[in-house]
Structure 1
Amino acid sequence: MQISFIGLLVCAGILLVGAFCRSPFIIGLIVSLAFGATAFVTLTAVGGSSPLIYTFFAALLISAVAARRPFPRELGNVFGQIRVLWVLCSLMAYAVVGSWLFPRLFAGQTSVFVQSAMRRGVVEASLAPVSGNITQTGYFVLGGLTAIALSILLLHEDRMDGVRRGFLVWCGVHAGLGLIDLLGKIAGAGDVLGPIRTASYAMLTEVQEGGFWRITGVNSEASTFGGLSLVCLSFCYVYWRRTKSRLAQGLAALLLVLLVLSTSSTAYVGLALLGIPVVFSIMRSFLSGRVDRDEILIVALLGVAAVTVLTIIFFDQGFFSPFVHLMDSTIVNKAASASGQERAYWNIKSLQAFVDTSGLGVGLGSSRASSWVIAVVSQLGLVGGVMMATLLLVVARGMGNLKRYADPETNVLVSSIQAAALASIIAQSLGGGSADPGMFFFIAFAVIAASRARARSQKRAATHASTPLRPAFQTGRRNDYAGAGGWR
């Protein structure tokens, strides 16, 4: 085991920020997601796996909750009020058993793509137990336990302000690191954030695409940065539209610029998909005659941008040639490229593995796909896929019809986190290789599930308060109990 002192220094800095914001564990966990290639230790005994710093904060959060004196009572209470946690625990148990059993049960009966340490790449091989069964299952179980611990905190105490601050700080740190990375490359300083990337991953950081530097921030590649930027942009945009926060507005604008400059095809396709509901929302506002100032601002900026582009093309037709080449290489011809064809083949083999295992799956971590949806089907099988869909349904519903029983701040925060979680699923569905939805999904799931449980409690309290008392028992001469007036 090799300890990374730089990773520990980053952890200490995040803890200080969390302590300053009066919620070190929750804020620390959320902010640590911005450091997608910073590890605090390397486990040489498990194939050189290097846990990222978010695992450190997740362990701290779980330990702090488990050390509370009323923990057994709180644990029983949270499972009683949030029934979907039973599905989560069943999925974790299925993932653990499947990761050990299925690669051995179906060994040699199908072929999968796995990470090769010898050739430093993804290779096709017969199904067999691999180190990914241990590491990816460990990450998945850690995410599930974190969701349970966070649900306990949010169900019994009002910690939504800490969650709100954590998400805003996370978006700010992610955008700031991306901006530093871009400016450093433009200035010729190279990969200035290289020392912070302590994970034992293959780092594709100093790469150009179509003449543009690929932005990676503190991540291993541009696609990861683009996916996280899409998540942060979704959160900031919804939060800005609901609260008119200037901080969220500024972060959304900066994140949009970084996302466009990231040269990530995942980010571009995801942005186009997420832009569809935004366009429909603005069109509905115009048709109903209820257009607000922010929507007018968005339409005006788009109009100015279109006029500017047309003017530049009129005077210099070759000005946007690099941008056209960038779009052509990252989106139009992406599927026809060698990388695109290779990833499509990964998906085909993953689906074939699902069929070869009679729908049980090859086990979590046994293979690699190029889409989260296909990875779930191939690794977790039909049973695991149904349970994962149940968790996803909770996130997709958000507060639903319970909104009127929650305070406005909770409704706004849940809506923003819901949008970010769905953006994360879209990004992973376009290029995710594992069935693990990631720590952010589990955090979003816990916030939404706990908020729904608190709103249901408020609904029951309001229903009992408004329910009239039963008619008094008639004795023949008088009422023994006379409503709210008490005993006579």
Structure 2
Amino acid sequence: MSLEPIGVVTIIVGLCCLLLDFRFATVVFIVLTLFGAAAAILAGSASIQPAHLFLLFTIVIALSWRRNASLSIKAMGFRQPGFWLGCLVVYGAISGYFLPRLLAGTTQIIPVGISEYPTTGGTVPLGPLSSNFTQSAYLAADLLCFLVILSVGSSRRGFSAIVTGLIAYAAANVIAALLDLWTRATGTQDLLQFIRNAQYTLHNDEAIAGMQRIVGSWPEASAFAGITLGVLGFTATMWLCGREARWTGPLALASLVLVVLSTSSTGLVATPLCLGLLYMTAVARCGAGTAHRSSTLVVFFAPQLVIVVGIIVLLDQRLYEALHNYVDLLVLSKATTSSGLERASWNAYGLQNFIDSWGLGVGLGTARTSSYPVALLSNVGIPGTVFFVLFLLSAIGRRRGLERTATSDVRLAARNGCLCLLIGASVVGALVDLGLLFFILAALASAEPERTDPKYEPSAPRSHS
């Protein structure tokens, strides 16, 4: 086990946060979840990311307030989101330990762990893996993250801190992508080596058809695109609602451009679906008579803009061919490439794992797939999938109404951020763990600040009906 330089920095910042308010620690924690290719601690083949290390400080700081601790316990009550997520964690841990042993050799899997099968590129017989433990640990961290953020968001000031952290996260994600492009253009990639030290395989120096793949602070372009879709869902919805528009509008536009230019098939396939979700949100706001002018502009001018751009592309043969070749390379011909065939085989084996395990799954952290629904079914089976769906419905599926308040607008933005992350994961998600950002957004979507706290109205817009 070794403590990396970024781990030392994380610990120092955590110790400093112990002397400050829990809101500051919350902002720092949210930003640290951006470093998906970094390892604060290396333990054999496992990498402990800075955010997971800092989560310990966040828990101590936030739950040292008795009110936050009681709210976290309350969130674990029956039928609450924390209860269903807790059920998924418990079932995942139990299945990860017992099922690979009880069903050993009954089916072939695409293994998640790399320590047991460092050279295999195909299937191996079902059996225990080190990833059964690491994935259980990651899912338990997701539960703790959800509970802590939910408790922090129960106060108006804490709610505001989470919003600030997410906007800072969006800005840092854009900056990381630009730094990634700049360092490769200047041959100075080593400058980012301290945040690219994780043990898993990194694809941070690849290009497609002469275009550099954008990875930012993530292991590969698909991971960057998937996370940036969540950022797009949150910031664009905030802008549509007129909240923190001077920040969220430019960040949403920058995120959209970076996803399209990332050369990720995930981003290119999922982006139209996410934009459709955002357009439906704008239409719903207008239909309810609670529209901000941003929503009104999108509803009336977005279709016209699409038509105008389409006509321009069709009339310009050179532009049409360039766009067609780009889409064909990343999407239309993807299924015939070695990568596309490999990912299709992952899903085929994942579904077979689900069938061979009689719907119980082969155990959390056992099988790698290329679509989140398949990952759920193959790893945790019907029970785990039901627990996740119940968590999702209770956390972001509650009808909040379309009233014009800051908290309802932010919760709507967090919900859309979660849905955009799910759209991206459905295209290429390999594991049951959706990452800390998803559970931060889910907690924010569930949070209900008490009215007795100081009023939270970030950049409250004037009424536009």
Give TM-score, length-normalised by structure 2.
Answer: 0.85
Q: Tell me the residue number matched to 1:177.
A: 176
2:407 to 391, 405, 410: 410
| Secondary structure, counterpart of 1:259 in structure 2 | helix
Can you give the 5+ residue segments of structure 1 that lack an aligned partner in the other structure? 456-488
Equivalents in 1 of 2:93, 2:124: separation in Å? 22
The within-5 A match list for 1:58-457 is 58-68=55-65, 73-74=70-71, 76-80=73-77, 83-114=80-111, 115-117=113-115, 119-120=118-119, 122-155=121-154, 158-190=157-189, 192-243=191-242, 245-280=245-280, 293-294=293-294, 298=298, 317-319=317-319, 321-401=321-401, 408-451=405-448
Equivalents in 2 of 1:283, 1:62: separation in Å? 39
Structure 1 position 247, deviation (Å): 1.1
Q: Tell me the residue number matched to 2:28.
A: 28
- Does the CA contact (< 8 Å) of 2:39 and 2:49 recur in 1? yes
Equivalents in 2 of 1:362, 1:74: separation in Å? 34
Task: State percent identity of aligned pairs.
Answer: 27
Q: Deviations over 1:118-160 (max 9, x none)?
A: 5456431011000100101100011112222333333367411
> 1:185/1:387 Cα in 2 relative to 1: closer, same or farther (>3 Å)?
same
Equivalents in 2 of 1:76, 1:136: separation in Å? 24
- Does the CA contact (< 8 Å) of 1:215 and 1:262 recur in 2? yes
- Does the CA contact (< 8 Å) of 1:237 and 1:252 recur in 2? yes
Structure 1 position 450, deviation (Å): 3.2
| Secondary structure, counterpart of 1:354 in structure 2 | helix
> 1:284/1:386 Cα in 2 relative to 1: closer, same or farther (>3 Å)?
closer
Q: Tell me the residue number matched to 2:454.
A: none
> 1:43/1:333 Cα in 2 relative to 1: closer, same or farther (>3 Å)?
same
Structure 1 position 345, deviation (Å): 1.1
Structure 1 position 368, deviation (Å): 0.5
* 1:55 and 2:52 aligned: yes
One-letter identity of the residue aligned with 1:195: F
Aligned-residue RMSD, C-alpha? 3.3
Equivalents in 1 of 2:295, 2:33: separation in Å? 31
Give the aligned length: 447
Structure 1 position 69, deviation (Å): 5.1
Equivalents in 1 of 2:369, 2:168: separation in Å? 32
- Does the CA contact (< 8 Å) of 2:240 and 2:282 recur in 1? no
Q: Tell me the residue number matched to 1:485.
A: none
- Does the CA contact (< 8 Å) of 2:359 and 2:381 recur in 1? yes
Structure 1 position 234, deviation (Å): 0.9
Q: Deviations over 1:422-478 (max 9, x none)?
A: 111111111111112222222223223332x859xxxxxxxxxxxxxxxxxxxxxxx
Structure 1 position 309, deviation (Å): 7.8
Deviates more, 1:233-242 or 1:154-163: 154-163
Q: Deviations over 1:54-102 (max 9, x none)?
A: 1012222223345445677555544459733222222221111111110
One-letter identity of the residue aligned with 2:59: I
Q: Deviations over 1:272-317 (max 9, x none)?
A: 1112234456678999999875357556688678757866876x74
One-letter identity of the residue aligned with 1:349: Y
Equivalents in 1 of 2:67, 2:239: separation in Å? 38
Deviates more, 1:11-20 or 1:174-183: 11-20
| Secondary structure, counterpart of 1:193 in structure 2 | helix
| Secondary structure, counterpart of 1:34 in structure 2 | coil
Q: Tell me the residue number matched to 1:482.
A: none
- Does the CA contact (< 8 Å) of 2:396 and 2:442 recur in 1? no
- Does the CA contact (< 8 Å) of 1:50 and 1:199 recur in 2? yes
> 1:358/1:222 Cα in 2 relative to 1: closer, same or farther (>3 Å)?
same
Higher relative contact order (CA 8 A, sep 6+): 2
Equivalents in 2 of 1:323, 1:18: separation in Å? 51
| Secondary structure, counterpart of 2:336 in structure 1 | coil
One-letter identity of the residue aligned with 1:180: L
> 1:152/1:340 Cα in 2 relative to 1: closer, same or farther (>3 Å)?
same
- Does the CA contact (< 8 Å) of 1:16 and 1:24 recur in 2? no
- Does the CA contact (< 8 Å) of 1:376 and 1:435 recur in 2? yes
> 1:73/1:395 Cα in 2 relative to 1: closer, same or farther (>3 Å)?
closer
| Secondary structure, counterpart of 2:241 in structure 1 | helix
Q: Tell me the residue number matched to 1:5.
A: 5
